[in-house]
Structure 1
């Protein structure tokens, strides 16, 4: 029997096509030809002409070609080589801050970087040796910044190709700009029929309605968005009624300005016509929903949009009506059911909101909702809903950015931005968003001109200790200590013992990664006492206890470290907390390995790896992988250990200084490298490590969780390590600290 091909998996993040792609066969073929001819292709056209749908269809075709015929053979497609590293989509329409452009691209590519390196450097280094297609959708509001970034990346990344869509070209050398025309008469009619039938299965094309439907397609100039809106109306109106309303009510809009392109006039006609056919409540909700960026949920819509003129219990029904008219899109996400307004529709609604004079009030109301959301998410982070919180904040990131911008628009409300940026500490530190967190924390603190007043000092202090925490994790000890000392001194002046506890805690964390274990133990112990006096218990407090356990373990006090981490593990399991638990498991695995319990160490580290990968916590993940490599060589699998060590290296590039430059954290790596190298030989060890460096993150995690095959190499006990591993053994007992105090600490600074 002939074996069926096994589909290959192409890396990427393209969304599924939920409603089907109608027509455009010729355009798809032409776009494929252009991508063969140029490394930069830009599809241009009016809003609503179908640019996004076309480039996504073209990108899916590229991804399918790159997947190839499978493992059983077949003629390879050139795309398999050209796009072997995948097809990736970056949606830019909701990005307004130029500083977030590069971060958005990094997020789209799945990059997590904890360092202080510029995001452009991170992007360039990631793309330098890769062959992939990057799809950029909706860049026109940042066209100059996008053009500059694309130019730089294409120059530095020879295997990169870019497919962009926007209302104008990027005007770069080598760019092939292709203006997208509206649909032809037959394709426009096919799209109208398909969308109307999807909404009303009883609808069908007949000889009696064909002429009117064809005229409607012509009147709407073949614009897909306009046709989608018309399809929403054909559920309740006949084609003749739609035509008459379009003619009678919008002759002025159809004429438009003298210089307007016909398709621009047709789009405005279609959207304006839909607006006029809405009830007053639907129009009002449409305008108010325009304050959201990207997706939103029902609760947010009800809070932000309801009022005396729009009762809260009417919002759900009105959303249903807007969905039925194709003015809203419903999407299933990891955070639940959410809604999204197409950009052209949103812009139209925003114009009406401005004309009503209500835009500023609605933006502030939007900000207030997302400040409340962040507050509840911070509380829920210390609960069984931790993973749901991470997914929710991820889904709401565009709206949280908008809320932060709103806070920064008013100097006297800068304290609200400080509060919001500080409250999101769990997302910045726990979900791999250090660079973005640093961006907002710096902006809110730089904008503090003392206008907020002493009554808001607690918000400023929170932003300071979170900045100190984030900077420490990025390896920026100078900025970290500066923020933490400012926080501690401010806490003393304002008599805020809780802010002081957080400042002392993060000073202890910085001492820990600086190899000053004595000072780390003093500061972390002092912070724990302060937390207890204040009645504080959350993930931060438990993390402080884990960090104290690390300081003890590195000094050989494993019994004390075990007691602290077992207590943390028990509390985490009782409360449903997983993020801090992962770090406690790391210390418990360290102690288990020291006692010879490799099986127990592997079990603990596997859970640790899974949790850290779930939350995109690169620091915790790479530490666990490094220790797992040592466990693996101790089990008799030196080749697999070398692969894991190699795989950890690029992860450290995203964290910053490898193993923080710490002799204590580096000791397991040195020991593993020595033992695996002796068993494999230098050449094979290097080959295995090189293979590890090529593993994508998801593949590495899957491999780490699966474990090595149950055939150890060699038989019998491992030889006694020599050389670097002996030095590593001594380091694990009494390492030489690289610094007796954290960078930036004053001489003679007392603990706490």
Structure 2
């Protein structure tokens, strides 16, 4: 994979090069790396140019994927102000999408998020250079549409996004649009349909090496398992997604998906399992690496017997990340941990 070198920071084309790597950083589990380089590049050159808008756009997407909601809101607000000042319609539409997504993820003013996403969709319609962002906008707009009580309209937007991706051979965002369809199905009381969408999304994420997307699919499948009454399976999937997410650079103190936070389903599963059974299953999930977690979620291998005292597989975590995972297993909420 191509990654920035230390000498890139001072070069005139540095921000453009970094912006071009945004899909690698967000799609391949290199979130911490991307944030590091983008922070350095943006600090080194603060000129109000189109190149800065593109770099802020890349940073916004990294922050949204990490679920660092406060930082994402701040970054997207700066990006939107600068895009409006420059007056480039395509840059403005892209910045509007990211600002709307950040507000939605934060759980803020959903009417404002919806308006920003509608503005983005109008500006991106028919764009050849930002076709992927157009599909992303339709998917995110589907979720604000669902929040506004229109599940049929939300599903129509998901279908448009999926068609958009299929016509262009884009599997990466197709998987995320399937997540959104699963959210709509779950909201309409169709858990089996929601699970089918999540399984298809997980397969696509895994095929293309999208770690962050795989984590989201594992979360969705944990919800499906809980809905069907298999709470221990749900706890294993949550443990797996939690550990893999930490390794990929997702923010463990503030992880939140587009539709709802993780804390409520985790607490529901824990209360039904009991603390001891939940912790054992959660820790078993943490010991699964990505490949094993995907195989378990897909139903191709059974869960292993819990192994007391063994360390989770995957990338070594920081002390804080390890503490957070341990505290979640013990029953502390995100607010208590923070």
Q: Distance in 2 between matches of 1:593 and 1:482?
A: 32
Alignment partner, residue 50 of structure 2: 458
Alignment partner, residue 705 of structure 1: 298
> Higher helix proportion, which one?
2
* Residues 1:497 and 2:92 are matched in the alignment: no
1:665 pairs with one of 260, 263, 269: 260
Alignment partner, residue 280 of structure 2: 687
Q: Summarize the alignment of residues 505-654 of structure 1 with structure 2, pairs less than 5 Å apart.
A: 505-516=97-108, 517-532=110-125, 537-653=130-246, 654=249
Q: Is the 8 A contact 1:642 1:673 kept in 2?
A: no
> Higher strand proportion, which one?
1
| Distance change (3 Å), C-alpha of 1:662 and 1:566 | closer
- CA deviation string 1:215-259 (max 9, x = no partner): xxxxxxxxxxxxxxxxxxxxxxxxxxxxxxxxxxxxxxxxxxxxx
Q: Distance in 2 between matches of 1:419 and 1:487?
A: 15
Q: Is the 8 A contact 1:643 1:690 kept in 2?
A: yes
| Distance change (3 Å), C-alpha of 1:495 and 1:684 | closer
Q: Distance in 1 between matches of 2:157 and 2:192?
A: 22
Alignment partner, residue 439 of structure 1: 36
Q: Is the 8 A contact 2:27 2:212 kept in 1?
A: no
Q: Distance in 2 between matches of 1:481 and 1:634?
A: 32
Q: Distance in 2 between matches of 1:554 and 1:685?
A: 31
Alignment partner of 1:401: what SS?
A: coil
Once the two structures are TM-superposed, the CA of residue 625 in structure 1 deviates from its matched residue by: 1.4
Q: Is the 8 A contact 1:590 1:601 kept in 2?
A: yes
How many residue pairs match? The answer is: 300
Once the two structures are TM-superposed, the CA of residue 655 in structure 1 deviates from its matched residue by: 1.0
Once the two structures are TM-superposed, the CA of residue 676 in structure 1 deviates from its matched residue by: 7.0
Structure 2 gap ranges (5+):
303-334
| Distance change (3 Å), C-alpha of 1:638 and 1:708 | farther
Q: Is the 8 A contact 2:183 2:259 kept in 1?
A: no
* Residues 1:425 and 2:22 are matched in the alignment: yes
Once the two structures are TM-superposed, the CA of residue 445 in structure 1 deviates from its matched residue by: 2.4
Alignment partner, residue 365 of structure 1: none
Q: Distance in 2 between matches of 1:645 and 1:505?
A: 29
Alignment partner, residue 487 of structure 1: 79
CA-based RMSD? 3.0
Structure 1 gap ranges (5+):
1-393, 710-737, 739-752
Q: Distance in 2 between matches of 1:552 and 1:707?
A: 36
| Distance change (3 Å), C-alpha of 1:642 and 1:474 | closer
Alignment partner of 2:125: what SS?
A: helix
Greater relative CO, 1 or 2 (CA 8 Å, sep 6+): 2
Alignment partner of 1:655: what SS?
A: coil
* Residues 1:467 and 2:59 are matched in the alignment: yes
Alignment partner, residue 4 of structure 2: 401
- CA deviation string 1:191-220 (max 9, x = no partner): xxxxxxxxxxxxxxxxxxxxxxxxxxxxxx
- CA deviation string 1:97-139 (max 9, x = no partner): xxxxxxxxxxxxxxxxxxxxxxxxxxxxxxxxxxxxxxxxxxx
Q: Distance in 1 between matches of 2:184 and 2:72?
A: 30
Q: Distance in 1 between matches of 2:81 and 2:269?
A: 48
Q: Distance in 2 between matches of 1:672 and 1:490?
A: 40
- CA deviation string 1:275-320 (max 9, x = no partner): xxxxxxxxxxxxxxxxxxxxxxxxxxxxxxxxxxxxxxxxxxxxxx
| Distance change (3 Å), C-alpha of 1:449 and 1:660 | closer
Alignment partner of 1:633: what SS?
A: helix
